[in-house]
Amino acid sequence: LRRSAKQVIDAQLMLRAAADASLDAVFLFKACRMAGARREVLDFTIADLNERAAQLLGRSSAELKGKRLLEVVPDLHTKGFVERFRHVLETRQPLQEEIEADFLPNRDVHWLHHQIVPITDGVAITVRDITSRKETELAMRKNQAELAAVNDASPLALMRADATGHRTYVNSTFELITG
């Protein structure tokens, strides 16, 4: 019995070390339910979080543990995130998405990828900063749009073909000339 208790403690310590060393922010939220028969989820309490998660919120983990989301980041309610957490908890269907984060104290973080999974009476959320990738993607899209606008405004008929000779792009002047 003592040996198995030590194994459990060792496994918990290893899991904690892995979470704290993770490149992702990890949050465990416990549902705060309304009293009564319906027991509707009103908010979530921060049950646990790793150091990267605390950094993301600009506080220490000791300051955050046990606090309700409404106290710590009220924008999670107003921007619909708590509703997403509630939906994942109730449907037991995980959710992952890329979001623009304009509500965090660290304004350097603009884009996040988060994954929300249901756990016992709560949700676990992993969050990764994807700002640099997203900014590169957006800059590339902007450049592509500008190039397309220049090509379409050109008085020259432009066409691009693949290795087999099939057209992959024509500008508006090409379409006008060839019909």
pLDDT of 9 over the 90 cut = no
Average pLDDT on 9-18 reads: 78
What's phi and psi for 154, nearest 5 deg?
-70, 140
d(CA 119, CA 84): 14
SS3 assignment, position 163: coil
What's phi and psi for 103, nearest 5 deg?
-125, 5
Nearest to residue 50, comparing CAs of 40, 60, 42?
Answer: 60
Residue 176 identity (one-letter amino acid): L
pLDDT computed for residue 138 by the predictor: 81
pLDDT computed for residue 143 by the predictor: 86
Average pLDDT on 1-25 reads: 79
Q: Which residues pair with 48 in a beta bridge?
A: 28
pLDDT computed for residue 109 by the predictor: 67
Nearest to residue 76, comparing CAs of 93, 92, 58, 99?
Answer: 99
DSSP 126-170: EEEE-HHHHHHHHHHHHHHHHHHHHHHH-SS--EEE-TTS-EEEE
pLDDT digits (tens, 9 = 90+) for 32-56: 998 877 789 999 999 999 999 999 9
pLDDT digits (tens, 9 = 90+) for 54-107: 999 999 999 999 999 999 999 999 999 999 999 999 999 999 999 988 888 876
**Residue whose tokens read 């973080």:** 109
pLDDT digits (tens, 9 = 90+) for 107-160: 676 899 999 999 999 999 999 999 888 888 888 888 888 887 887 788 888 888
The DSSP code for 66 is T
When the pLDDT of each residue in the chain is averaged and rounded to a whole number, the result is 88
pLDDT of 19 over the 80 cut = no
d(CA 52, CA 21): 8
Beta-carbon contacts of 126 under 8 Å, excluding residues fewer than 6 positions away, are 22, 24, 25, 26, 27, 114, 115
d(CA 64, CA 48): 8
pLDDT of 18 over the 80 cut = no
pLDDT computed for residue 144 by the predictor: 84
Whether pTM > 0.85 for this model: the answer is no
Nearest to residue 24, comparing CAs of 107, 113, 122, 136?
Answer: 113
What six digits make up the tokens of 108? Answer: 């350097």
